[in-house]
Amino acid sequence: MRRAVVACLALLAAPAVSAQEMKSPNLSSPQVNWDAAAATLTAPGTATAEAFAKLNALSEKRFSGIAKSSVPVLLPFDIEAARKEAPAEPTATAAPADDKFMRANFHATSFFQAGPAGYDAAFALRVAEVGEFSDIRYADPVYVLMSGLAITYDLEGPALPAGEPVKELEADFPGIRRTLHESYIRYSFERYGVPYVAAIYCRDTRPRPKLLTCRQADRIAVRFLRALTLSGGTPAAPQPAAPVALDRPAGVSRDFSYFSPGSLIPGSGLKKDLGGRPDYTVYAHLRFPLKDAPDFANSQSFNNWGDCDFTGRAWAGRRSGKRAPYSCKVNGRPLVFDESTNYAYPWRDNFCEHRNFYVGQCPGGEGHQGQDIRPSSCTMINDGADRCQAYQHQVVAVHDGMILRARKQEAVFLFINTPNTHMRVRYMHMNPSQLDADGVVSGKPVAEGDIIGKVGNFNTRELGTTYHLHFDMQVPTKIGWVFVNPYATLVTAYERLIGARGTEIKDGDPVPASVPVPPVIEHPTPVAAAPAATDASTAPAPKVEQAAPEKPHKRRPHRRHKRKPKAED
């Protein structure tokens, strides 16, 4: 196996060929009016820097690092109450109780991050504690993510929704807009020249005890916005964001190849006439999310042992044993029940692959939200197995940052805040109990390369999906955080990991033979080796029963995600 890994990383001298060049994102930075902000704090004549230094001293012990924010910080924090109770001589033991000065029944979570790109903070509210919400039968905490943005991303994909004015808040927040996008209700406004966004995860449906509707979230968001006060930040001269570095190795890998961004498995898009998102933007200079190479980015749903995203399978059942054949009805792709055959180059983008999740950057407005990644190998307990054992490979932080994750949650968010990058990335399918035991929870700082978990197959339960890591990226825009295609960013991160440049496979190029990495067998028994799976892109499709005529696309709950992980949990 070691020889196979070494061979995978061998270099050639020829230059890589690319259909398009990788490019940095388009960034905008506001001109912050610190003097206007300071004028709301003190009497005329007080220096702006002095006013904010005093403000930070009051807020710092509850919101550590608030002085690092490059924009004025708005929080539901009773700064006047904190001022009145502050001792004349501050001491290390004078920190207020966690929620002592919070306003409108909101609880500050352990997540608060401030830096050169602005700030992000998560707050929780239990509706049972607020009389005006007595009609809302939602037992879990409602989480609000508040962001002040020193960097916004100007995306080249479909236009973002314009939102609608909010008349009841216009007097306090001139120009405020309400937008429902990608399952978040967002209230965006500008103050002191800075874009701010408050967002709540919700579902646009009828009320249920375990589901927060967007109408309910609206009411909570209005309460939150009315509780905001100016709480900190440090004035500084504006610095334009530098372009994201696009450094790529000079040498070329003998084996690493990848289909172009946006090139999905044929027929695996939202509809047959909709493809992927051909986005060559490298949104950040990241480390690859798996510790070791080789790694294989491809679909977990439309490859062997995949469920075809519940679009229909033509098969006789698994009772015929390992490697029983079947196919996806939507594209006739021949598959077998043996997920160990999915470990091979070339890579394949599956950002806009068929899913019933809202993704504004995808054709049709729905898609997968991220990229599936297989680790270096598959370990099976014996030769008769067709599933890979979980938790054999380590997952690492792609950058210095801070974790956002409540206990028991499957999703792990890592927030990044640098002079030219404001991003949150999400890891999924690791075991929540193990993440809890390892302290991977909100407020935990991590450094690039730190181990944060192991690749799993958890999706509401063990063996709920195939063995892989789901990785996605969101960046802030004028309406808040939106999903972007991580594929080009992952390609360049992987090239740095292996020290070699990949070869892009463009439309019409010959596809190299797929050579899966042989699975590791823990307790082998002498049996004949199974033939390698055939890639559907190079072999004729077998005869399968005809798919039913295409019906109008209906938005339905995705069966594999009975409860979507929330960004603010």
For residue 316, give the DSSP letter.
-
Residue 86 Cα to chain centre, angstroms: 39
Lowest-pLDDT choice from 310-319, 403-412, 451-460, 546-555:
546-555
**Structure tokens belonging to residue 549:** 């005529």
Same domain? For 413 and 430 the reply is yes
Counted domains in the chain:
2
When comparing pLDDT for 162 and 92, which is higher?
A: 162
Same domain? For 297 and 174 the reply is no
Is 486 exposed, middle or buried, given 0-12, 13-18 or 19+ CB atoms closer than 10 A? buried
Who contacts 118 (Cβ-Cβ below 8 Å, separation ≥6)? 69, 70, 71, 147, 148, 149, 150, 151, 194, 417, 422, 476
Whether pLDDT at 554 is above 90: no
Strands in 105-232 per DSSP E: 107-115, 118-125, 142-149, 152-153, 164-165, 177-181, 184-191, 194-201, 229-232
pLDDT band at 539 (very low <50, low <70, confident <90, very high): very low
- Residue 171 maps to a domain: yes
- Residue 147 maps to a domain: yes
Name the 3-class secondary structure at 304. coil
- Picking from 155, 146, 154, 117, the residue whose alpha carbon sits closest to that of residue 238 is 117
DSSP letter string, 491-526: HHHHHHHHTSEEEEE-TTSPPPPP-PPPPEESS---
Query: Residue 11's pLDDT is what?
Result: 34
Residue 85 near residue 250 (C-beta atoms within 8 A)? no
For residue 352, give the DSSP letter.
T
Mean pLDDT over 479-491 rounds to 98
- Proportion of the chain above pLDDT 90, given as a percent: 75
pLDDT band at 546 (very low <50, low <70, confident <90, very high): very low
Same domain? For 222 and 289 the reply is no
**Structure tokens belonging to residue 61:** 């012990």
CA distance 178 to 162: 9
Last residue of a domain, one of 479, 495, 521: 521
pLDDT band at 549 (very low <50, low <70, confident <90, very high): very low
Mean pLDDT over 198-217 rounds to 92
Residue numbers of the domain that contains 517:
2-24+244-521
Residue 209 Cα to chain centre, angstroms: 26
Same domain? For 159 and 196 the reply is yes
Query: Residue 89's pLDDT is what?
Result: 57
CA distance 79 to 103: 10
What is the per-residue pLDDT across 226-254, written as a single tens digit (0 to 9) for each?
999 999 999 988 788 899 999 999 999 99
Same domain? For 203 and 271 the reply is no
CA 389 to each of CA 28, 160, 292, 342, 352: distance values in angstroms, whole numbers, following the listed order: 45, 41, 17, 14, 28
**Structure tokens belonging to residue 72:** 């004025």
- Residue 43 maps to a domain: yes
- Residue 207 maps to a domain: yes
- Residue 556 maps to a domain: no
- The model's pTM is 0.88
Query: Residue 525's pLDDT is what?
Result: 54
Q: How many CA atoms lie within 13 A of 487 on its CB side?
A: 29
- Residue 255 maps to a domain: yes
Query: Residue 238's pLDDT is what?
Result: 79
Lowest-pLDDT choice from 105-109, 321-325, 349-353:
321-325
pLDDT band at 219 (very low <50, low <70, confident <90, very high): very high
